């Protein structure tokens, strides 16, 4: 699926430089950023993650 996302010039320059230094594409950077955002908010990013979450695996005990 394709979606159009707009960035200001400074952000695009920073992302381009980061991509060059990490030898990563803008898509690679976006995939990593969105996966981190979903994880931060407790949203499973794939089936394996969803199953692990539903089974309670990896929950910290108080």
| pTM of the model as a whole | 0.73
Distances (CA, A) of 34 to 26, 27, 39, 62: 12, 10, 9, 29
pLDDT, tens only, 11-28: 999 999 999 999 999 999
Confidence category of residue 49, pLDDT binned at 50, 70, 90: confident
Delimit the domains of the chain by residue range.
27-56
């Amino acid at each position: 699926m394709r979606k159009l996302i707009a960035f200001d010039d400074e952000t695009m320059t920073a992302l381009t430089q980061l991509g060059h230094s990490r030898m990563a594409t803008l898509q690679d950077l976006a995939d990593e950023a969105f996966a981190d955002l979903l994880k931060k908010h407790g949203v499973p990013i794939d089936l394996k993650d969803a199953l692990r979450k539903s089974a309670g695996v990896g929950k910290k005990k108080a």
